[in-house]
Each structure stands twice: as structure tokens, then as C-alpha cells.
Amino acid sequence: MPGIEALAERLSTYLGPEQVNLVRRAYFYAEQAHDGQRRRSGEPYVTHPLAVASILADMHM
């Protein structure tokens, strides 16, 4: 699973730096808010929101 920096790089192809920074801030907020939480698979919870954001980035949303 690609991380936040890979997502930020993809977002920067169609969003401005301020908007990309907001996405980074949201990611780090979610990472802190869900610290220690795991999915049933054992992965950190934050992997799901990151995967959804990646799908949305592919759609330029």
C-alpha cells in the first residue's frame, strides 16, 4: 500500500500545494486519532482511509 507521500505526489498533478497540504494534515490527524486501532486483518486502521483517498485521487476527485 502506497503511503501519504505517494498520494500527495499524485494529488499534486491536479491540486495546488495548499490543497495537497490539507490532505497531508488530514492524514496525520487520522493517524493520531486512530493510533493503536487495527482492522480485522491486523493492518492499521488508517490504511483504509488512505486506500479510499487513493481511489479518489485516481478519479481526480
Q: What is the pLDDT of residue 1?
A: 65
Q: Say if CB 53 and CB 26 are below 8 A apart.
A: no
SS3 of residue 44 by DSSP: strand
Q: Domain of 17?
A: 4-58
How would residue 35 be classed by pLDDT, with cut points 50, 70 and 90?
very high
Q: What is the pLDDT of residue 2?
A: 76
Q: Say if CB 37 and CB 47 are below 8 A apart.
A: no
Tally of domains in the chain: 1
pLDDT above 70: percentage of residues in the chain: 98
| Radius of gyration over every alpha carbon of the chain, rounded to an integer in angstroms | 12
pLDDT above 90: percentage of residues in the chain: 97
Which residues make beta-bridge pairs with 44? 38
Neighbours of 19 (CB within 10 A): 12
Place of cell 507521500: 5
pTM of the model: 0.86
Residues 7-19 have pLDDT tens digits of 999 999 999 999 9
